[in-house]
Amino acid sequence: MYWIKKNQKIFWFSVIISIILIFIFFGQPIRSVFHSVSGSLESWCWGKGQNDSNFFWGFFNATNLKIQNQNLKQENQTLLNNLLDFQELQEENQRLRNALGLGLAEDFNLKEAAILAKDATRDYVIINKGREDGISQGMTVITYEKVLVGEVTEVYRDTCQVRLVTDFGTKFEVQIADTNVRALARGEGGEGLILDLIPKDADISTGALVSTIGPEGGYVSGLLVGTVSETSNTDVEPFQKAKVNNFFKIQDAILLFVIIN
Amino acid sequence: MPAIKIIISFIIFYFLAVFQAGYLTHFKIAGGVWNPLLVALIFLNFFEKKEDKSGLIIGGLAGLYLDLFSPYFFGLFILTGILVAMAIKGIKPLLETRKFISFALVLFAGLLFYEVVLTIALINRGLSFNALSVVINFFAGAIIYWILRLFNVLYGQQFRQT
């Protein structure tokens, strides 16, 4: 005690340095233990929040829902017509898959996961699978419909942190369906995604499907990203830009899959 | 007494942090979301006795829980929480703490300070200043203030201080 009183400056300096070192070396283990302990409570809160937000969204958007319902009915009629054609193709596809021994499970080695929490300032989520489930940094996360969700950035014992593709600063190459046009997808934050570096002469239509193109682009090929919702082609810019309507909506996400292989 | 306050805060903040990251995150309005940990930290520091310094530890605790759910460098929110607590303690002697306007001023300044610190610290990672977040938290804090005042909680605290 006498030594501390005499050398207060050295004491406090040592305390601060120790705390900084703890943060540097034990930040990840602290997060790991915390999420292991409170995983079930986080999961319960996430489920409740999802249900309640869906309820309130429906409550405050009742007028929009009516219009949306009418549009969906019309769309449904069109899709039913298309379905007849697709059924035939699907049967053929299934026959070929069986013959070649291909299936979703053969395509990817998947690990099922659920969201526990989301960071308020960035597009990062915590999911309930971690090191003990074979998860490692850099693995891709998708939905059951093969929609791209993001990438594992930090792994804890029972949980891990996933950076969504929409987080500010993410970059990966994509292809716009039916055009063979490649573009650079950039996360805008706030669950927004834009396409950049689209050649000026490319004819991009609204509603065109956007998908990943392969490992050189950052993710495995054929994962769905979304549809083009808005294009911008001005003379002052060397390339076209487009906004993407993401297929992955965090409020609707129930089950995710981590690609293990 | 300060030790009990810190222990109680530690437990309550745990539930607030899980509630914030798991539940409230679904209720974002244009990127802005209610941050109950930050509001609680401002409340506790504002209505704390002059000689009591536990508000600084409570600031660190609130930051610790925010850090656990964040993708940033561990310790960033702890530092921010302590800085917010220190700023409130610094500004408090200049104000008449019994008036709502004083509380409103400190609440607004605290929220603004928190957002500015975050924006500066993370400027290279693309986090822009979120004014709506300040507005949402300000209204949430003001509503809680009046509810507590209605139940005389804050008055009791004020009488003890004098």
Digit-coded pLDDT (tens) for A207-239: 888 888 877 767 888 888 988 888 888 777 888
Do the Cβ atoms of B71 and A153 come within 8 Å?
yes
Q: Is B19 helix (H, G, I), strand (E, B) or coil?
A: helix
Confidence at residue B159, expressed as pLDDT on a 0 to 100 scale:
46
Q: How confident is the model at residue B162 (pLDDT cuts 50, 70, 90)?
A: very low
Look up the domain containing B152 and give its range. 2-161
Rg of chain A taking only CA atoms, in angstroms = 23
Is A114 in contact with A127 (CB distance < 8 Å)? Answer: yes
Confidence at residue A60, expressed as pLDDT on a 0 to 100 scale:
74
CA B98, CA B154: separation in Å to the nearest integer?
A: 9
> Is the predicted pLDDT of residue A152 greater than 90, yes or no?
yes
Residues from chain B contacting residue A251 (CB–CB below 8 Å): 26
Q: How confident is the model at residue A29 (pLDDT cuts 50, 70, 90)?
A: confident
Nearest to B26 among A23, A126, A251 (CB): A251
Confidence at residue B14, expressed as pLDDT on a 0 to 100 scale:
92
Q: Is A167 helix (H, G, I), strand (E, B) or coil?
A: coil
Do the Cβ atoms of A117 and B126 come within 8 Å?
no
Do the Cβ atoms of B75 and A19 come within 8 Å?
yes
Residue with tokens 């294009």, as numbered in its chain: A231
CA B3, CA A254: separation in Å to the nearest integer?
A: 41
Nearest to B35 among A117, A120, A154 (CB): A120
pLDDT digits (tens, 9 = 90+) for B65-107: 988 888 888 888 888 888 889 888 888 888 877 788 888 999 9
Residues from chain B contacting residue A44 (CB–CB below 8 Å): 22
Do the Cβ atoms of A120 and B73 come within 8 Å?
no
Residues from chain A contacting residue B128 (CB–CB below 8 Å): 189
Residues from chain A contacting residue B25 (CB–CB below 8 Å): 49, 117-120
> Is the predicted pLDDT of residue A98 greater than 50, yes or no?
yes
Averaged pLDDT, A192-204: 86
CA A117, CA A127: separation in Å to the nearest integer?
A: 7
Averaged pLDDT, B8-12: 91
* Residue B10 in contact with partner chain A when CB distance is under 8 A: no
For A56, nearest residue in chain B (alpha carbons): B27
CA A209, CA A197: separation in Å to the nearest integer?
A: 17
> Is the predicted pLDDT of residue A203 greater than 90, yes or no?
no
Q: Is the dihedral of CA A223, A225, A226, A229 positive or negative?
A: negative
Which site among A35, A118, A161 would you substitute to test the B interface, given the most B Cβ atoms closer than 10 Å to its Cβ?
A: A118
Strands (E), A41-139: 110-113, 115-118, 124-127
Element (H, E) at B133: helix B131-150
Residues from chain A contacting residue B78 (CB–CB below 8 Å): 23
> Is the predicted pLDDT of residue A107 greater than 50, yes or no?
yes
When divided into structural domains, chain B yields a total of 1
